[in-house]
Chains A and B, each alone.
Chain A
């Protein structure tokens, strides 16, 4: 069971949250992007083994989104930061 530190509610059980997948994916301009660019935006993922950057929603709590840097092997949460913050520097 992960204990996830929601920035607004504090540490809560994993079951209260929903993982929204990889963060920091920039949407290309739909008017100019070709099919390959658009498909890469929709589907391709870094799917990192190690520290990855994810969006999480406190679904059964405050209902707010935030970013989490989490190790996908140990599940250790390395950082929690706002949706609009840039990707933090984290040693592997």
Chain B
């Protein structure tokens, strides 16, 4: 297949040719009976893993198995926020690795992921919030990551539509901001990694659901899929909310509970908001897409769920919080809302490391914050699958931390949903 590069010139040339002759960005091969390595899950993390296996480790005999369509799970269902403003040094190293890779991704993958580092602003609504913000901002800076503490006037200047009046439902005292935070086009991230991996020889197999695992003498030997048996002696799982379902098929349990996380998109309007804003009091986060839609998220639904749609009480809570902060947004109509199934653990930190079955590796438990971590999740799982060793950045995030009690409790440290 001819491999075109994407550029303004190629777009112009194709445009003048009435957009005939675009070729598929990746192949649709049939499964081979055996691969050197299999990655389960064709979302951002799985595709990035395959890409880095091929690119960094020279392992190109790799298949990515996706039960539905590419990027159709949480990669296509999130609120597209990227940031690395985490409290603990372990988390800072992890998420900043992801953000630094994101910054170089368009050039590396020849794909416009529409990365917009417009700034990520966390609001403080009380004196306690403000103390918390100061502590968090200092911790982030000590992690070597950019972060600024903002006062009330700074916030008012940056967010003209935010209700800062005397009678505001959620009074604002200040906040902190990571200038390198922002948004990126979520689908483009999946597509960019898919195209990059495909070009290096990786087979991307869609509509290929893993139904069981072949385990021989305690070691992984392959998978049973809806498209037949595929053998491999290294298998990586990047299945987010469905990690527990796969673990059960492989005969072990994970410290994960799956919930639906909702997101909402409004009708498009002219530019009104040029920051990503998060309020710990309401749990609401909002940004404006390049198309002009407000993209809104909030907390988890109230009970475990595998249904990729949200429940009304959480929707009401999120939207009333949004309107409480930005009264003008009450005029907007919602275009769509949806849910993604997120894999939540006690400490809101990911699990990257070997599974209890030899040759099986985990990349899961990103919970509500997987999108921002895609390049790091891919890098670290690829390192583990290729070398059998944990990457130094992944070291603290193995499954054994639950047994050792060495939790990295971002849930408590950040005090926000993520």
Contact = CB atoms under 8 A, between A and B. Distances in A.
Interface string B287-314: 0000000000000001111110001110
Nearest to A18: B302
B403 A36 contact: yes
B253 interface: yes
Contacts of B156: none
Interface stretch (B2-10, B125-133, B227-235, B242-250): B242-250
B253 A46 contact: yes
Given A40-B253, A42-B402, A43-B345, A15 B307 contact: no
Interface in B103-156: none
B343 to A, nearest CB: 9
A43 B257 CA distance: 9
A1 B306 contact: no
B311 A44 contact: no
Nearest to B248: A46
Given A2-B311, A47-B254, A74-B307, A14 B302 contact: yes
B307 A39 contact: no
A15 B254 CA distance: 28
Interface in A2-21: 2, 13-15, 17-19, 21
Interface residues of B, number: 25
B255 interface: yes
Nearest to A52: B304
A73 interface: yes
B306 A73 contact: yes
Contact of A43 (B242, B255, B311): B255
Nearest to A34: B403
B303 A1 contact: no
Name the residue in A15, A39, A49, A73 with the highest tally of chain B Cβ atoms < 10 Å from its Cβ: A49
B346 interface: yes
A37 to B, nearest CB: 9
A45 B345 CA distance: 10
A47 B256 contact: yes
B337 to A, nearest CB: 14
Contact of B303 (A36, A39, A54): A54
Contacts of B257: 21-22, 45, 47
Interface in B214-248: 242, 244-245, 248
Name the residue in A18, A22, A47 with the highest tally of chain B Cβ atoms < 10 Å from its Cβ: A47
B157 interface: no
A54 B403 contact: no
B313 A1 contact: yes
A75 interface: yes
Contacts of A14: 302-303, 311, 313
Nearest to A13: B313
A35 interface: yes
A12 to B, nearest CB: 12
A44 B255 contact: yes
A45 B254 CA distance: 6
A19 B402 contact: no
B402 A72 contact: no
Nearest to A75: B307
Nearest to B346: A43
A54 B304 contact: yes
Interface string B18-59: 000000000000000000000000000000000000000000
A42 B258 CA distance: 16
A39 B403 contact: yes
Interface string B254-279: 11111000000000000000000000
B336 interface: no
A45 B255 CA distance: 6
Given A40-B253, A75-B305, A45 B313 contact: no
14 contacts: A13-B313, A14-B303, A14-B311, A18-B302, A39-B405, A42-B402, A43-B345, A43-B402, A44-B255, A46-B253, A47-B244, A72-B305, A73-B306, A73-B307
| 10 residue pairs, one from A and one from B, having the closest CB atoms | A43-B255, A47-B244, A19-B303, A39-B403, A44-B253, A15-B313, A1-B312, A49-B306, A39-B402, A43-B402
Interface of B: 242, 244-245, 248, 253-258, 302-307, 311-313, 345-346, 402-405
Given A14-B302, A45-B253, A47-B304, 8 more contacts: A1-B312, A42-B402, A45-B257, A47-B254, A47-B256, A49-B244, A49-B258, A49-B306
